[in-house]
């Protein structure tokens, strides 16, 4: 579903029969709104602002570029339009903008502490808003994992349980899809890792393992020709310890699952003609 259609539904959710307060209290005069940061963070807004402009007769001018840091009290953008349209979009815009900036800010801190090891997101995103969540990760300096189940093959715990083993699940995929399809295998033990020897596996995801265990298994995985992703239980407090093991990448579900929204407000006033 296109972002514009999603935003139309969000606005309809917020005002199914119109904004009865605004429409009865104030005339639909030209106004200017100032988007103000009430806390510091990393900016992530472009697709949101563009989509709002596409569906409503408003003009949004960014004052901070995406990926840049802003401080408390900074003006992030200006919104121009009729009073009814600007106040209609206010809460939907601020909810999504605050979430996006929060994700970008948390991602940037993970990236800083990872010391050069790439930080990836997961599919643990807000349903229907995955595009914005993953865009925000990129603005924070992170990378996107697969966008959907229709992309890269990723054999996880339930697949191997139903197939009988991790090795059997991987063989099933290769028999059906061939050798050319990228494949990630989630590994939970040394025994599972060893069972993949000789198979066409592009990445192994070493899941929920201690640094001590990873210190043994990362070199072993590389002897089989596998690239190594580390995931599970990665926090700001321990990401530097995991990064010191130099996996090829680290994936972090909390980037999009646990980021706190940045507090952002919209202050609206009459547009004064020159």
Q: Based on the number of CB atoms within 10 Å of its own CB, is 198 exposed (0-12), middle (13-18) or buried (19 or more)? A: exposed
CB atoms within 10 A of CB 74: 17
Is 215 noted as a catalytic residue in this protein?
A: no
Mapped onto helix, strand or coil, the DSSP state of residue 152 is coil
Of the candidates 112, 124, 174, 194, the residue annotated as catalytic is 124
Of the candidates 85, 133, 207, 229, the residue annotated as catalytic is 207
Of the candidates 8, 91, 138, 168, the residue annotated as catalytic is 91
Question: In whole angstroms, how far apart are CA 199 and each of 134, 172, 178, 193, 255?
Answer: 31, 11, 12, 11, 32
What phi and psi values does residue 114 have, to the nearest 5 degrees?
Answer: -80, -10
Is 38 noted as a catalytic residue in this protein?
A: no
Cα 236 off chain centre by: 16
Is 207 noted as a catalytic residue in this protein?
A: yes
Is 237 noted as a catalytic residue in this protein?
A: no
Is 156 noted as a catalytic residue in this protein?
A: yes
Closest listed residue to residue 64, CA positions, set 105, 21, 12, 109: 105
Of the candidates 85, 133, 186, 229, the residue annotated as catalytic is 186
Q: Which residues contact 231 (CB under 8 A, 6 or more apart)?
A: 122, 205, 206, 207, 208, 250, 251, 252, 253
Of the candidates 156, 222, 257, 271, the residue annotated as catalytic is 156
For the sheet with 264-270, list strands across it.
59-62, 75-82, 30-37, 264-270
Residues identified as active-site: 91, 124, 156, 186, 207
């Amino acid at each position: 579903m296109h972002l514009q259609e999603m935003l139309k539904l969000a606005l309809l959710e917020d005002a199914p029969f119109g904004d009865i307060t605004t429409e009865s209290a104030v005339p639909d005069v030209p106004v200017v709104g100032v988007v103000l940061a009430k806390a510091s963070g990393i900016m992530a807004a472009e697709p949101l602002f563009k989509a709002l402009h596409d569906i409503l007769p408003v003009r949004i001018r960014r004052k901070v570029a995406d990926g840049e840091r802003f401080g408390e009290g900074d003006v992030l953008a200006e919104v121009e339009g009729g009073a009814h349209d600007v106040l209609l979009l206010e809460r939907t815009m601020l909810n999504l903008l605050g979430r996006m900036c929060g994700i970008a800010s948390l991602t940037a801190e993970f990236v800083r502490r990872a010391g050069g090891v790439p930080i990836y997101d997961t599919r643990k995103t807000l349903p229907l808003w995955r595009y914005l969540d993953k865009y925000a990760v990129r603005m924070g300096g992170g990378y996107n994992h697969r966008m959907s189940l229709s992309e890269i093959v990723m054999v996880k715990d339930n697949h191997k349980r139903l197939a009988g083993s991790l090795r059997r699940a991987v063989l099933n995929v290769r028999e059906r899809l061939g050798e050319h399809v990228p494949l990630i295998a989630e590994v939970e033990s040394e025994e599972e890792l060893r069972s993949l020897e000789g198979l066409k596996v592009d990445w192994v995801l070493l899941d929920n393992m201690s640094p001590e265990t990873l210190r043994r298994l990362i070199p072993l995985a590389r002897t089989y020709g596998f690239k190594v992703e580390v995931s599970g239980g990665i926090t700001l407090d321990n990401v530097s310890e995991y990064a010191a093991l130099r996996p090829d990448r680290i994936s972090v579900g909390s980037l999009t699952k646990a980021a706190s929204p940045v507090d952002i407000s919209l202050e609206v006033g009459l547009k004064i003609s020159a």
